[in-house]
Structure formats: structure tokens, C-alpha cells
Amino acid sequence: MTSLSVEILAAGAAEPITSAGNARLGIAVLAGIAVIVLLITKFKLHAFLALTIGSLALGAFAGAPLDKAITSFTTGLGNTVAGVGVLIALGAILGKLLADSGGADQIVDTILAKAGKSGGRAMPWAMVVIASIIGLPLFFEVGIVLLIPVVLLVAKRGNYSLMRIGIPALAGLSVMHGLIPPHPGPLVAIDAVGANLGVTLALGVLVAIPTVIIAGPVFSRYAARWVDIPAPDRMIPARPSEDLEKRPSFVATVSTVLLPVVLMLVKALVDIVVDDPKNHLQRVTDVIGSPLIALLAAVLVAIFTLGRAAGFSKERISTTVEKSLAPIAGILMIVGAGGGFKQTLIDVGVGQMILDISRDWSIPALLLAWLIAVAIRLATGSATVATISAAGLVAPLAADMSTGHTALLVLAVGAGSLFFSHVNDAGFWLVKEYFGMDVGQTVKTWSVMETIISVVALGFVLLLSLVI
């Protein structure tokens, strides 16, 4: 426990080592989360403000002096933004260059042209591949906006079931969002529990591949039977690159998108094989495989392979970069406030309470992490808020874990954060409106798909924990 925890608890909170102390802290946590949920759902307050107020309420309910609670929150916010803020910004720039240059459309058109030769049987699998590649550098909402026109056009022109094409695309985006860095949720969870990013990325890919297959192409067969609707004409907008004279090549685009992933995986591989901090090769890969350098390298390469290849002038590239940063201000503040809430949880002694509960109940740490993330996801509707909060709660469990199991703890939290998206999730309404479904149809397709991703991913995480 940190010195600040001791100060806070000494200032009036009950001692965490007693059952009475744990009970009081448990009530404080539930009350703090309830405040956040109520403000987001009932009063429609922005998540940043809700998390800020909820953090201060948590400190008050736990008996902490207000000045100490404020210090905890601001410290956590600053540390979180310092840890992942630049990475989120670089990811946004890369995603904007990918979309505006027509690189995303090039990936889509090339893969769909190949898949079309199979008579349509490969189309759901093609949509998974497209969504997974495009979903790597893009935020979930941006990925949906980018892919929905493609999904609707393919379904209409090829006379395919909308769900047969749409569910695999949504599954690819969602799995990337919940399990694979450099998305904000996984990055913050990695930072919170002290996991190795390269190892988490490698294990995340191992979990993501079978998960996206089951929740995408396989489940889409059943979703298409349950909800058989045509693609709504009114929702087919123009594609971003239709006004461009030329687009980047397929190979250059895919290579650019995968560059940061490859660099981070190389670092993880060298760390495992060489395992000598003084080794020259390992020192080099530790630098080039760090998230900051890997993403920065990808952005610099993308300026030439995507921006210049599309005929962008220096001024237009500068404008594209500038426009990419404005939309992420809200995301950065939510992530930062989530980090503040996490630090408040830790500093009032909730981490020790979780350790005590896990010992008393004999619940496996990975399952406990998943259950906590599920509860917060169902309550708040936000995968990112669920990931950040759950990671803060279970961070003490990682203290005695191996590198591999710490990475699996991050993935368990990420899997839980995707569980059963419903009416309090913005993604639920985004999918409903784009696909022209009613609430019941959206639950039977999108919500069930999210639940399948969450449960299947947990299953593979638990299987990996037996062999790592």
C-alpha cells in the first residue's frame, strides 16, 4: 500500500485489514461507482465529469480528507495521460492518414476483389480481415464510420445478408478495440498493472484470432437467420477517397499499418530469447519496439507511404494531422479521469481489499478481473471506463505474477470490458442506426456478438494460463 493510502486511512477510514474495514471500503467503492453510473445514465453527464465527481465521492465515502482525495485523483490523471496520451495521439494521426489518403479503401477494395472470386463464400472472412487490419490504428467509433459504407455496399451489390457481412466486420473492430494495443483501453490496463506491452500484444493476437473467428464468421450464420434485413439505402454515404486522383498501394498501406505491431512483437521476441539487458541487439530492439518509437515511426512512414502517395501536399498533410487531434480531446480526458479514479481506488486501500477477497473466496485472479470489468461495463456502458477502473482494482493481484500471467490479466480485463453492450453504450446506438435495426434486433445481433467475444476471449485466456 502506498504512503498516501496510509495517510488517507489514518485520517478516518477504517483499517483495511479487518472485515469491518473491507466492508466499509466495499460500500464506498459501490457508492462511488453508483455515482458515476447515475451521472452518466440518468443525468447524461459527460464521462469525464462523472469520473471526476465519482472519484471525489469515493474518497468521501471511504473517509478520506478531501484534499487527499483530490491529490490522488490529480496524480492518477497526470500519470495516465503522461503514460498513454502521446500514444493515443499518434494512433489518431495514423488512423486519419489511413482514412483520408484512401489507404483504408485500398485495403477494402483489394481484399473484396480477391474474396469475390470465391462466389461469396469467403466474403465474411474477408470482412474480418479488413476490419482487423483497419481496426489496429483506429478508434472503434472511427472504424465503424469508415467500414459501414463498405458493409452496406457489399451487402447490397452482392445480395448478401446484411448480418452475414456486418457481424464479422463489427467483430474484427471490437476485438481489436478490447484486446490489442495501441487502443486506449489495453494501453491503460498495461500501464496500470505493469504488464509488458510486447508480451501482451503477442498473447492478445493469440486470443484475438480464434475469438474473432467464432464471434464473426461463425456467429454471423445464426445472426443472419435471427435478423434478416436488407441494407438501408439511406445510410450508404460517399466513401472518403472518391475525390482522390490516386491512392496508396495495398502493400504499402498494409505494411505501414502493421509496422508498429511488428516492431513491438520483435522487441517482445528478443526480450524472451536473449533476456540480457546488456546485449546490444536487445538494447536496440527495446528502443525501436517501445510503443512511442514504434508508433512515431509508423506515423513518419505513413506521411510518405500514405499522404504523399495520395498526392497530398505538405500543407494538406499538416492539416490532416491537425484535424486528427481535435476529436481525441474527449477520449484523452475520459482516459485521464479514469486513471484518476483508479488511483483513488488504490490510495484508499481498495487494492488490499481485493487481495483479501480473492484469498477468502478462492476466485482465480483472471476470472475475478473479468467479473469486475463485466460489472462496470454493464453499469456504465463504456468499455474504456470498464477497462481503466477494473485494471486499477486488480492491479495489486499482478504483484506476484509472472510476465505472461500479468499480460493475461490485462486481456481478462479487456475481455470483460466488451460484455453485453446494451442501451447505455454509444456503440449500441451507432450500430442500430447504421444498420437500420430496432432495439430488439440490435440486442439479438450486436449485443450477443459482444457477449460471445467476451466469454470466448476469457476462455482462451484461461487456457493460455494453464500452459504459460
Strand ranges, E, within 111-246:
none
What pLDDT score does 37 carry? Answer: 77
Positions in the chain whose pLDDT score sits under 50: 1-17
Record the cell numbers describing residue 228, joined without a space.
Answer: 434478416
What pLDDT score does 308 carry? Answer: 93
Residues comprising the chain, all counted: 468
- Print burial letters for 79-116: b (CB count within 10 Å at least 16), e (below 16): bbbebbbebbbbbbbbbbbbbbbbbbbbbbbbbbeebe
Q: What is the pTM of this model?
A: 0.78
How many Å apart are CA 139 and CA 318, to the nearest integer? 21
Q: Pseudo-torsion of CA 337, 454, 401, 272, nearest 10°?
A: -100
What pLDDT score does 9 carry? Answer: 39
Cell 463504456 belongs to residue: 382
Cis peptide before 184 (omega within 30 of 0): no
What pLDDT score does 241 carry? Answer: 57
How many Å apart are CA 80 and CA 23, to the nearest integer? 29
Q: CB–CB of 391/343 below 8 Å?
A: no
How many Å apart are CA 295 and CA 312, to the nearest integer? 21
| Helix then strand then coil, % of the chain, to nearest 5 | 80, 0, 20
The dihedral through the CA atoms of 422, 424, 430, 433 has a sign that is positive
What pLDDT score does 321 carry? Answer: 93
Q: CB–CB of 303/292 below 8 Å?
A: no
Cell 464510420 belongs to residue: 145
**Cα-based distances in Å from 67 to 8, 29, 73, 130, 294:** 10, 19, 10, 49, 39
What pLDDT score does 333 carry? Answer: 87
Give burial (CB, 10 Å; 0-12/13-18/19+) of 68.
buried
**Cα-based distances in Å from 142 to 155, 160, 244, 372, 423:** 20, 24, 20, 27, 20
Record the cell numbers describing residue 259, joined without a space.
Answer: 509496422
Residue 119 is given by DSSP the state T
Strand ranges, E, within 305-402:
none
What pLDDT score does 453 carry? Answer: 98
What pLDDT score does 298 carry? Answer: 92
Instruction: Summarize pLDDT for 49-84 with one digit per residue, the tens.
Output: 988 999 999 999 988 899 999 999 999 899 888 877
